[in-house]
């Protein structure tokens, strides 16, 4: 049962080009984390989950295209239309779950950069609210009509329970809003962090790439609003009705493709800030070449810096440090224990896996001469 016509071939080509780009991004991220800096966080596994859902989204959409997605209804049999509709809805469900995991990955990355409690609660709120909205949208997609079979085959006598277009538009706008929030939030919580201007701009701009994902989400919402705006009449006098709106099997193509684009851009925006070590390696620079920004692992450190860089979690605790005695024996200062500079944004911020950005305290111990102390006590 293959019916590839209309926009079907275009859909398949666009979908798998974007899927290939997503795979390359995730492979680059995993190589950077596992091979270059040898450390993976929860956000990395969330991105992997997003990629799996992305591939499932692509597979279902391809199956839908092979069954008639992108064609006019009058070119299809009822069986082809129903099967294509099932595959498309299954793909959109994967897309919704992928949106939730992708936003959660970005927020989880930011959680490792913040230390203020309400900042953490705010990011947890973003993760929770996005997950709830996406899951509700996916569930309501199957409950828009009674019986559920009418969701796939509107020729079955049914009752429309809700306007799914409104629900989908709200979800698209909400996820776009979260993209903008997560993109702009670093500018706020980094305002009080003492960084050089160049470093601040590098970190903030790299963490703010999510505005592009938000823009894609708004375009997708616009396409959803236009869904079914044309009243198509077909032979056999059959109209496909979804939430009191008339649509065709090719009417959903724009917002489907924009769904892929939004998800790909979201993954890219969450991955690019992590790829700085890979970029520096490709340029032939060492992983510690950013040592001039802030305290480093050299003798010029001025205080105990706890667990800097992206050393593995089991290599340190936040309180570990070593003591370096100066050649003159007049003072002792702490320096980094077990860490390495990973050249990424969290390295610039001197992030720790457990405690985020930490303060550096300078402790100078001055030793008096023994005869001065003896003279003091004999007075």
Residues 250, 367: one domain?
A: no
pLDDT tens digits, one per residue of 318-362:
333 333 333 334 433 333 333 344 445 555 554 433 444 555 566
Which residue among 282, 303, 328 closes a domain? 282
278/289 Cα distance (integer angstroms)? 13
Tokens 């200062």 correspond to what residue? Answer: 333
Which residue among 282, 302, 321 closes a domain? 282
Number of domains in the chain: 2
Residues 184, 124: one domain?
A: yes
Residue 366 sits at the vertex; the CA angle it makes with 361 and 369, to the nearest 5 degrees, is 170
pLDDT tens digits, one per residue of 51-61:
999 999 999 99
Task: Give the pLDDT confidence score for residue 238 in this predicted structure.
Answer: 34
345/193 Cα distance (integer angstroms)? 13
Residue 361 resides in a domain: yes
**Residue 234 carries which DSSP code?**
-
Residues 83, 140: one domain?
A: yes
pLDDT tens digits, one per residue of 112-159:
888 889 999 999 999 999 999 999 999 999 998 889 888 888 888 888
Residues 245, 366: one domain?
A: no
96: which 2 tokens? 């919704």
User: For the purposes of burial, counting CB atoms within 10 Å of the CB of 260, is it exposed (0-12), middle (13-18) or buried (19 or more)?
Assistant: buried
Buried b (16+ CB within 10 A) or exposed e, 315-354: ebeeeebeeeeeeeeeeebbbbbbbbbbbbbbbbbbbbbe
> H/E element holding 146?
strand 145-146
106/329 Cα distance (integer angstroms)? 47
Residues 267, 325: one domain?
A: no
Task: Give the pLDDT confidence score for residue 178 in this predicted structure.
Answer: 94
83/81 Cα distance (integer angstroms)? 6
User: Per residue of the chain (379 residues), what is the pLDDT tens digit?
Assistant: 676 667 888 889 999 999 999 999 999 999 999 999 888 889 999 999 999 999 999 999 999 888 888 777 777 788 888 888 899 899 999 999 999 999 999 999 889 888 889 999 999 999 999 999 999 999 999 998 889 888 888 888 888 888 888 888 899 999 999 999 999 988 888 777 776 777 777 777 877 888 998 998 898 888 777 664 443 323 333 333 333 333 444 567 787 888 899 999 999 988 988 888 888 888 886 544 444 444 434 434 443 333 333 334 333 333 333 333 333 344 333 333 333 444 455 555 544 334 445 555 666 665 555 555 455 445 5
Residue 299 resides in a domain: no
Residues 263, 359: one domain?
A: no
Residue 303 resides in a domain: no
Q: Which of 377, 365, 310, 355 lies closest to 334, judged by CA?
A: 365
Residues 139, 233: one domain?
A: yes
Task: Give the pLDDT confidence score for residue 152 in this predicted structure.
Answer: 87
Residue 195 resides in a domain: yes
**Stated pTM of the model:** 0.71
Task: Give the pLDDT confidence score for residue 372 in this predicted structure.
Answer: 54
CATH number, residue 239 = 1.20.1070
Task: Give the pLDDT confidence score for residue 232 in this predicted structure.
Answer: 30
- The residue segments making up the domain with residue 324 are 313-378
25: which 2 tokens? 């991004």
Residues 35, 140: one domain?
A: yes
């Amino acid at each position: 049962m293959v019916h590839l016509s209309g926009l079907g071939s275009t859909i398949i080509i666009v979908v798998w080009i974007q899927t290939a780009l997503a795979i390359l991004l995730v492979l680059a991220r995993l190589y950077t984390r596992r091979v270059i800096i040898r450390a993976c966080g929860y956000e990395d596994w969330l991105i992997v989950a997003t990629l799996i859902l992305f591939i499932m989204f692509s597979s279902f959409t391809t199956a839908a295209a092979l069954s008639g997605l992108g064609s006019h209804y009058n070119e299809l049999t009822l069986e082809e239309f129903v099967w294509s509709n099932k595959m498309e809805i299954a793909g959109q469900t994967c897309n919704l779950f992928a949106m939730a995991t992708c936003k959660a990955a970005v927020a989880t990355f930011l959680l490792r950069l913040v230390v203020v409690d309400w900042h953490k609660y705010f990011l947890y709120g973003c993760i929770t609210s996005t997950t709830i909205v996406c899951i509700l949208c996916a569930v309501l997609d199957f409950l828009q009509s009674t019986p559920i079979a009418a969701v796939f085959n509107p020729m079955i006598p049914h009752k429309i329970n809700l306007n799914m277009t409104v629900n989908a538009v709200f979800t698209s706008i909400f996820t776009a809003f979260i993209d903008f929030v997560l993109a702009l939030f670093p500018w706020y919580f980094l305002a009080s962090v003492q960084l050089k201007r160049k470093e601040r701009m590098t970190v903030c701009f790299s963490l703010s790439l999510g505005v592009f994902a938000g823009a894609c989400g708004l375009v997708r919402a616009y396409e959803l609003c236009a869904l079914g705006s044309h009243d198509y009449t077909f032979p056999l006098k059959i109209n496909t009705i979804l939430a009191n709106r008339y649509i065709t099997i090719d009417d959903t193509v724009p917002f489907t493709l924009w769904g892929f684009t939004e998800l790909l851009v979201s993954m890219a925006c969450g991955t690019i800030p992590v790829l700085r070590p890979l970029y520096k390696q490709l340029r032939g620079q060492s992983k510690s070449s950013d040592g001039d920004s802030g305290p480093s692992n050299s003798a010029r450190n001025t205080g105990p810096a706890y667990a800097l860089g992206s050393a593995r979690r089991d290599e340190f605790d936040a309180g570990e440090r070593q003591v370096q005695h100066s050649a003159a024996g007049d003072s002792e200062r702490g320096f980094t224990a077990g860490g390495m500079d990973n050249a990424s944004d969290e390295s610039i911020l001197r992030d720790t896996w457990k405690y985020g950005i930490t303060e550096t305290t300078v402790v100078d111990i001055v030793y008096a001469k023994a005869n001065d102390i003896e003279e003091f006590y004999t007075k």
